[in-house]
């Protein structure tokens, strides 16, 4: 087979690739972990590189000769590692234990003293599977097309790398770590373990494996449904969800939106197809919460103000900034409740322009979340205003302004004073399960005793979703 050499600068890495491969494939082969939210379909525009002085899309460019390509160094993303948790007494049978939280976008690794439970070191990285697409569906499609080996090897290598890095930070050999626990959404779980993910994208969208597993000393938390996985169970472990008196709504908005409503009496979980808009994908100027991202926008004396992460010129909008900007545009009446943008596009500053299509993506995402909240409440037989507290898990929930989430109607405004960010509660759940076997058993019991609600099967789903598309502050979405 004819091969060509592609050299990437400024990294200075050269790789031989088969003629006809895309430049994106060459970047992946070079280990550069390119940003490719659409998975190489040519629609997100995020894989731009410079070839012969011209900006081109790496996924749409075939290698047909030796090439030298300039790529941007990916920005370091802020990764959320801490979260709400409880104090427990570890088993004490292992000197060192490790916990992993495999998110669709980021992966976090924690190393703990198995006797005291103290955190010794932690590390995090982007999930290297992002090079195959920002959302789980793109990655599953990739596995169905080409087999799952690359996908599972990619994440396993990342876990090994993180484990070595974290052990080195604590000054211990990796072999000294004798127990671990892993949380992840159902797709991350299947792709890690090399389990066929086809059932996740085929009705009734259920996991091939629900049960908690133990593999080589690793406790892997169970799944509740195709899109409600061990990460949600981890959040329930760390918040002691089945012991809560208050009727509580737990929301984790990532590339999908998982929710649980309940307390000590009953718990119902659902997933919403919120899509990755709030992770920067599908938004023309969207980016992750890294340096250069506008992360907050507000009005001061009628003037638009914004904040950029790091000491940098703005390069795009991350999820929290996107939410704020839409809320501000509603206040300025540049955007109406139906989602119509008065201007063709709204420019906040150089590199940050919101288009009508971007607004539509936000509407779809926020409507999915709002409809989920309304339908969970109905299923529980309560009104939305009966919810006594709202736990927001995950990075977006931690950094977003709840006022903006309520202003655009993503979260019912009546709940504004009941919202509490709980950080990386999934990671905290993994830590507890690594430290004590009883916690792992508790996770199994929580998964077993949580009902799952398939929103799309409900007769009122469509109406509820369509109502929730409006940017309305009204209580009844």
Determine the size of the site formed for ligand FES (CB under 6 A): 11
Does 283 sit near ligand FES (CB under 6 A)? no
Among 15, 17, 26, 38, binds ligand FES (CB under 6 A): 38
Stretch that binds ligand FES, among 36-44, 321-329, 355-363, 374-382 (CB under 6 A): 36-44
Shorter beta-carbon distance to ligand FES: residue 6 or 97? 6
Between residue 48 and residue 77, which ones bind ligand FES under the rule CB under 6 A? Answer: 57, 59
Does 126 sit near ligand FES (CB under 6 A)? no
Shorter beta-carbon distance to ligand FES: residue 23 or 212? 23
Which of 271, 98, 93 lies closest to 187, judged by CA? 271
Quick one: tokens of 71? 């790529």
Q: How far is the CB of 35 from ligand FES (least distance, A)?
A: 8
Shorter beta-carbon distance to ligand FES: residue 59 or 375? 59
Does 204 sit near ligand FES (CB under 6 A)? no
Does 418 sit near ligand FES (CB under 6 A)? no
Shorter beta-carbon distance to ligand FES: residue 46 or 189? 46
**Cβ-Cβ contacts under 8 Å for 27 (sequence gap 6 or more):** 8, 34, 47, 49, 58, 71, 131
- CA–CA separation, 165 and 403 (whole Å): 39
Does 44 sit near ligand FES (CB under 6 A)? yes
- The interaxial angle of helices 136-146 and 149-170, nearest 10 deg, is 120
Shorter beta-carbon distance to ligand FES: residue 48 or 266? 48
Shorter beta-carbon distance to ligand FES: residue 226 or 276? 276
Does 40 sit near ligand FES (CB under 6 A)? yes
**Cβ-Cβ contacts under 8 Å for 370 (sequence gap 6 or more):** 409, 410, 411, 412, 468, 477
Quick one: tokens of 367? 């409507």
Edge to edge, the sheet with strand 303-308 lists: 303-308, 293-300, 316-317
Q: How far is the CB of 435 from ligand FES (least distance, A)?
A: 40
Does 28 sit near ligand FES (CB under 6 A)? no
- CA–CA separation, 117 and 112 (whole Å): 6
Shorter beta-carbon distance to ligand FES: residue 39 or 339? 39
Shorter beta-carbon distance to ligand FES: residue 31 or 45? 45
- The residue whose two tokens read 């996924």 is 59
Among 47, 327, 354, 422, binds ligand FES (CB under 6 A): 47
Does 128 sit near ligand FES (CB under 6 A)? no
Q: How far is the CB of 30 from ligand FES (least distance, A)?
A: 16
Which of 93, 115, 96, 80 lies closest to 168, judged by CA? 96
Q: In Å, how far from its chain's centre is CA 147? A: 23
Among 36, 111, 377, 408, binds ligand FES (CB under 6 A): 36
Stretch that binds ligand FES, among 41-49, 67-75, 330-338, 340-348 (CB under 6 A): 41-49
Stretch that binds ligand FES, among 44-52, 70-78, 107-115, 144-152 (CB under 6 A): 44-52
Per CB under 6 A, residues contacting ligand FES are 36, 38, 40, 42-47, 57, 59
């Amino acid at each position: 087979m004819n091969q060509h050499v592609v050299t990437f600068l400024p990294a200075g890495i050269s790789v031989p690739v088969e003629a006809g491969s895309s430049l994106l494939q060459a970047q992946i082969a070079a280990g550069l972990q390119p940003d490719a939210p659409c998975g190489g379909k040519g629609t997100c525009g995020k894989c731009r590189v410079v070839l012969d002085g011209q900006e081109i899309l790496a996924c749409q460019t075939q290698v047909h000769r030796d090439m030298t390509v300039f790529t941007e160094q990916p920005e370091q993303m802020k990764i959320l590692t801490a979260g709400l948790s409880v104090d427990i007494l570890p088993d004490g049978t292992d000197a060192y234990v490790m916990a992993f939280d495999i998110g669709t976008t980021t992966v976090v690794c924690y190393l703990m003293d198995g006797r005291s439970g103290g955190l010794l070191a932690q590390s995090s990285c982007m999930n290297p599977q992002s090079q195959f697409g920002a959302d789980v569906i793109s990655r599953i499609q990739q596995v169905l097309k080409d087999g799952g080996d690359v996908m599972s090897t990619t994440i396993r290598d990342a876990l090994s790398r993180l484990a070595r890095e974290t052990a080195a930070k604590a000054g211990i050999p990796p072999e000294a770590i004798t127990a671990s626990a892993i949380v992840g959404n159902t797709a991350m779980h299947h792709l890690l373990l090399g389990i066929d993910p086809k059932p996740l994208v085929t009705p009734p969208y259920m996991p091939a494996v629900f049960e908690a597993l133990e593999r080589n000393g690793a406790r892997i938390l169970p799944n509740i449904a195709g899109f409600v996985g061990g990460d949600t169970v981890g959040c329930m472990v760390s918040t002691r969800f089945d012991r809560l008196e208050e009727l509580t709504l737990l929301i984790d908005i990532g590339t999908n939106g998982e929710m649980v409503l309940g307390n000590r009496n009953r718990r119902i979980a659902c997933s919403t197809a919120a899509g990755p808009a709030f992770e920067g994908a599908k938004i023309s100027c969207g980016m992750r919460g890294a340096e250069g991202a506008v992360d907050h926008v507000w009005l001061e004396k009628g003037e638009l103000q914004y904040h950029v992460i790091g000491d940098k010129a703005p390069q795009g909008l991350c999820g929290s900034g996107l939410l704020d900007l839409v809320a501000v545009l509603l206040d300025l009446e540049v955007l109406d409740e139906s989602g119509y943008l008065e201007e063709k596009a709204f420019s906040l500053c150089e590199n940050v322009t919101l288009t009508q299509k971007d607004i539509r993506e936000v509407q779809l995402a926020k409507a999915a979340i709002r409809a989920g909240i309304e339908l969970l409440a109905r299923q529980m037989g309560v009104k939305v205003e009966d919810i006594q507290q709202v736990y927001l898990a995950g990075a977006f929930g931690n950094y977003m302004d709840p006022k903006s989430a309520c202003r655009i109607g993503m979260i019912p405004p009546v709940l504004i004073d009941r919202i509490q960010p709980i950080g990386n509660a999934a990671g905290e759940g993994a830590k507890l399960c690594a430290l004590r076997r009883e916690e792992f058993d508790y996770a199994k019991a929580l998964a077993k005793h949580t009902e799952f609600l398939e929103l799309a099967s409900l007769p009122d789903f469509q109406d509820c979703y369509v109502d929730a598309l409006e940017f309305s502050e009204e209580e009844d979405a």
